Chain A
Amino acid sequence: MHERLAEHDEHHEWETSPWPLVLSVGVLFLGPFSFSLYFVYNKPMLAVLSLGIGVILTVLSIAGWIRETVKHRLEHPHVHLQGETVGLGLDAMQLFIVAEACLFIAFFVAYWVTRLLSPTWPPAGTPHIEMVTPIIMTVILVSSSVTIHLGEERLNHNDRSGFILWLVLTMVLGAVFFGISVNEWTHLMGEGFTFKTNIYSTAFFSITGFHGSHVFVGLGMFLCALIPALFGRVNKTFVKSVSIYWHFVDIVWFFVVSQIYFW
């Protein structure tokens, strides 16, 4: 079909990868199927089943994806076709963060609109919300931002083990943060402050929840950086991207604390 190309082009095969397809099927089970099986058609068993399938497919495909890209970089170190090798990952992540920011903006707008429309604030049914926890959480998250930064520093000095150390520390801090907020949720719900309570609970749970999910995703991405790193394969661009993502999550937290908790 394309002999003229075949002579020069350094890889004249069509590149393929099964993982994007597998991943999106996984997403289909993970999201819509399990959700609507549980909430719409209340079939908990089936919901759990499709959740399981989803998780397996997702994890599998992400792992495969990482292996593939790592391998690819080893095989053609100089191919300026794969964005990862020319370090475009960073720019892409910045664009993605713009989108993420808009997501949070939408939720904060919803929060402020409903709050300003409501006659009394906090609305009836709101229990006293602990003000120490958020401060502790802030400290933890900020320090995790610092640790990952130090990790990058080590990386620039090509000190892999040092980097891994800081990375692990960061992940621990992130996990602790996550744990605390889960704990806080259960506590509040114990006090009868649930999604259903009032407009403040609506905003509180949805916004902290969304932020929490972002922390979770951040941890996942750190894991995707850690595992190859343990095998001596560090993709600097990827690490940089993940860490700015982490800083972003950190900054969002400032808005959450100041506006949801204290303001």
Chain B
Amino acid sequence: MNASSGLAKTLKEWIFTIDHKRVGILYLVGSLAAFAIAGLMAVLIRIELSTVGPTITNPGTYNVWLYFHGAAMILGFQIPALTGFFANYLIPLQIGAKDVAFPRLNALSLWLFWMGIILALLTFVIPNPPDIMWTGYPPYSIKSPGNTAFYTFTVLIMGFASIAGGVNLITTIVHMRAPGMTWGKLNMFVWATMCAFILQLIFVPILGAAVTMVSLDKYLGTSFFSPANGGDVLLYQNLFWFYSHPAVYVILLPVMGIIFDIVATFARNRIFNYKIAVYGGLIGIVAISGEVWIHHLYASGMPDWIRIGMMISTLLISIPVGLLMISLLMTLYKGAIEYKTPMLYAVGFIFLFLIGGLTGIPNAIPALDLHIQDTHFVVAHFHYVMAVAGTFAIIGGIYYLFPKMFGKMYSETLGKLGFIITFIGVNITFFTMFMVGLNGMPRRYFDYSHMPALEHLHRIITYGAFILGLGVLITFISWIHGLIAGKKAPDNPWGSRSLEWTTSTPPGPGNWPEVPDCREFDPYGYGG
């Protein structure tokens, strides 16, 4: 057949695809786009904050940037990248299925997610765009001149997409494992993502309800959140965080899964204490994650007893997470560690996550949080743990799967260069941010002219952000370079034992000639 029709065919095979691998890759494209744009917003935010007083913009625009940055980074970048890209691409390959249970439904989730991205991007072109921050607290979100409906619908569409995705992949994991692929053998990633999807399934509808109420109040005149008419403003915050705290574990769990798989592969070693890591660590997190949301409302005037109660439950989360950390570290023990780029990112993750997670502890203690709540200290905490550690896991995971996805190798030198610069950048940026916050710099501030002493610290953060941006830029370049000029990749470049590497590279439709037989198989069966 001639070239043009061949091109048309490939195009059709991509855009209309219902194959889990291609759906996954299209998820990846969308989420990386969100990351790049929201990241550029972040750089603009940093430039604005680099001097006292207005620098490059006005408060209104700043708030819109920040709204987009937060919403797009969480809803558009990390959750889709993890529960969309990685989950779709890896799970069927790791459990030995030919596809997910409902390929068409899967494609629907994908395109709904894309519509969400489009909706979010429209923020920049529509008149009076939303400016209510990703938390969208009423009454402001109701009084705001901005288009709150877009916020509501972005959340609803993305939410429905991820619920459908969750239904789809949980069914897949439960019913479509290859013969002999018992629960005790699943990759950490499969377990972790399954836990994440369970959280999504239970909690996303709560968020959906909350944001729907906001739009009902604003546009149909109901009074859920208007005290004048018998409503209650704190109701929203409770519903919102009842979802959005578990949401942070929806991010953390798959991230942990990726890191575990990378570390096991590059250390050529078993997961240390697999059972405890799964049942104590992952499932422990799921169990606790629903009982801690008040730690976002320590200064919101909730009754004192519940603030204390949830301080304790919040602190207890360090136990399952700690168990995971121990399994992770001890997986290195007596391993044979090779420092390819993905492993570097995994190692970076360990340190950055320690910083981020441990700074969650002062947040968790209300008496201390009364000072740092809604300051840049919190911003620094969640950037370390989510924006940095999480993104490191995602980037590392992309490098890890790169050969399998595209059949090409990326350039190690570019990859490592990008890692080093990013690593330096994030620490300059976000460690300084802790100090700014501790000195009383509140969040969501366009300007800080009544605390000018903070200017030099803000300067440093901005420089850091540029270094960090450069690092990310190099990372992007290394991927594009790999796509264009990378040399052909073998089926299993890392010598991994895990099932996804037994396919041809890149895997075709149906992944394997026949469904593989996994009775003798062990994804971590290293060292005999």
Q: Does B223 contact A (CB under 8 A)?
A: yes
B114 / chain A contacts, CB cutoff of 8 Å = 24
- In the complex, how many residues of chain A place their beta carbon closer than 8 angstroms to a beta carbon of chain B? 69
Whether A5 and B510, one on each chain, are in contact in the complex, defined by CB atoms closer than 8 angstroms, is yes
Given A17-B16, A106-B205, is A2 in contact with B221 using a C-beta cutoff of 8 Å?
A: no
Given A14-B17, A199-B223, is A21 in contact with B171 using a C-beta cutoff of 8 Å?
A: no
Q: Does B513 contact A (CB under 8 A)?
A: yes
B232 / chain A contacts, CB cutoff of 8 Å = 113-114, 117
Q: Does A186 contact B (CB under 8 A)?
A: no
Whether A40 and B205, one on each chain, are in contact in the complex, defined by CB atoms closer than 8 angstroms, is no
Bound CA span A68–B168, Å: 19
Closest to A119 in B: B230
Whether A110 and B239, one on each chain, are in contact in the complex, defined by CB atoms closer than 8 angstroms, is yes
Q: Does A153 contact B (CB under 8 A)?
A: no
B149 / chain A contacts, CB cutoff of 8 Å = 32, 35-36, 39-40
Proximity bits, A91-120, B CB within 8 Å = 1, else 0: 110011011101101110110011001100
Main secondary structure of the interface of A (DSSP, over half): helix
Which residues of chain A from 40 to 79 have a CB within 8 Å of any chain B CB?
A: 40-41, 65, 68-69
Whether A95 and B216, one on each chain, are in contact in the complex, defined by CB atoms closer than 8 angstroms, is no
Whether A92 and B168, one on each chain, are in contact in the complex, defined by CB atoms closer than 8 angstroms, is yes
Given A99-B201, A123-B230, is A9 in contact with B510 using a C-beta cutoff of 8 Å?
A: yes
Closest to A103 in B: B205
Whether A95 and B16, one on each chain, are in contact in the complex, defined by CB atoms closer than 8 angstroms, is no
Whether A24 and B112, one on each chain, are in contact in the complex, defined by CB atoms closer than 8 angstroms, is yes
Q: Does A15 contact B (CB under 8 A)?
A: yes
Main secondary structure of the interface of B (DSSP, over half): helix
Given A91-B174, A95-B201, is A18 in contact with B127 using a C-beta cutoff of 8 Å?
A: no
Whether B12 and A15, one on each chain, are in contact in the complex, defined by CB atoms closer than 8 angstroms, is no
Bound CA span A109–B98, Å: 42
Closest to A31 in B: B153
Whether A4 and B504, one on each chain, are in contact in the complex, defined by CB atoms closer than 8 angstroms, is yes
Given A14-B509, A195-B220, A196-B222, is A24 in contact with B16 using a C-beta cutoff of 8 Å?
A: no
Given A9-B508, A199-B231, is A103 in contact with B167 using a C-beta cutoff of 8 Å?
A: no
Bound CA span A36–B147, Å: 8
B156 / chain A contacts, CB cutoff of 8 Å = 31
Proximity bits, A5-45, B CB within 8 Å = 1, else 0: 11111011111111111011101100110011001110000
Whether B153 and A196, one on each chain, are in contact in the complex, defined by CB atoms closer than 8 angstroms, is no
Contact of B153 among A14, A32, A82 (CB under 8 A): A32
Whether A2 and B504, one on each chain, are in contact in the complex, defined by CB atoms closer than 8 angstroms, is yes
Whether B209 and A11, one on each chain, are in contact in the complex, defined by CB atoms closer than 8 angstroms, is no
Whether B119 and A28, one on each chain, are in contact in the complex, defined by CB atoms closer than 8 angstroms, is yes
Closest to A90 in B: B171
Which residues of chain B from 65 to 96 have a CB within 8 Å of any chain A CB?
A: none
A39 / chain B contacts, CB cutoff of 8 Å = 149, 219
Whether A14 and B19, one on each chain, are in contact in the complex, defined by CB atoms closer than 8 angstroms, is yes
Given A5-B504, A95-B201, A102-B206, is A199 in contact with B509 using a C-beta cutoff of 8 Å?
A: no
Which residues of chain A from 172 to 221 have a CB within 8 Å of any chain B CB?
A: 194-196, 198-202, 205-206
Q: Does A83 contact B (CB under 8 A)?
A: yes
A223 / chain B contacts, CB cutoff of 8 Å = none
B118 / chain A contacts, CB cutoff of 8 Å = 28
Contact of B101 among A36, A88, A199 (CB under 8 A): A88
Bound CA span A25–B119, Å: 11
A139 / chain B contacts, CB cutoff of 8 Å = none
Whether B219 and A107, one on each chain, are in contact in the complex, defined by CB atoms closer than 8 angstroms, is no
Whether B504 and A21, one on each chain, are in contact in the complex, defined by CB atoms closer than 8 angstroms, is no
Bound CA span A11–B508, Å: 11
Given A17-B104, A21-B111, A110-B235, is A5 in contact with B513 using a C-beta cutoff of 8 Å?
A: yes
Most buried by A among B19, B103, B110, B506: B103
Whether B508 and A83, one on each chain, are in contact in the complex, defined by CB atoms closer than 8 angstroms, is no
Contact of B115 among A4, A25, A88 (CB under 8 A): A25
CB distance from B97 to the nearest CB of A (A): 8
CB distance from B167 to the nearest CB of A (A): 5
Bound CA span A105–B115, Å: 27
B204 / chain A contacts, CB cutoff of 8 Å = 99
Q: Does A81 contact B (CB under 8 A)?
A: yes
Contact of B108 among A24, A69, A102 (CB under 8 A): A24
Q: Does B202 contact A (CB under 8 A)?
A: yes
Contact of B104 among A69, A110, A196 (CB under 8 A): A69
Proximity bits, B180-223, A CB within 8 Å = 1, else 0: 00000000000000000000011111101110010110011111
Q: Does A132 contact B (CB under 8 A)?
A: no
Bound CA span A91–B107, Å: 19
Whether B13 and A14, one on each chain, are in contact in the complex, defined by CB atoms closer than 8 angstroms, is yes
Bound CA span A36–B166, Å: 29
Bound CA span A92–B119, Å: 28
Whether B508 and A195, one on each chain, are in contact in the complex, defined by CB atoms closer than 8 angstroms, is no
CB distance from A107 to the nearest CB of B (A): 6
Closest to A68 in B: B104
Contact of A198 among B111, B147, B157, B223 (CB under 8 A): B223
Whether A106 and B147, one on each chain, are in contact in the complex, defined by CB atoms closer than 8 angstroms, is no
Given A81-B99, A83-B102, A206-B222, is A110 in contact with B209 using a C-beta cutoff of 8 Å?
A: yes
Closest to B209 in A: A106
A82 / chain B contacts, CB cutoff of 8 Å = 102-103
CB distance from A167 to the nearest CB of B (A): 23
Q: Does A86 contact B (CB under 8 A)?
A: yes
Can you list 13 contacts pairing A with B, beta carbon distance less than 8 Å?
A8-B514, A15-B509, A17-B18, A20-B104, A20-B111, A24-B115, A31-B153, A35-B215, A88-B176, A92-B168, A99-B167, A103-B206, A195-B221
Q: Which 5 A-B pairs have the closest CB atoms?
A: A2-B508, A199-B230, A106-B209, A83-B101, A32-B153
Extra inter-chain contacts (4) besides given A20-B108, A117-B230, CB under 8 Å: A12-B509, A14-B22, A20-B111, A202-B224
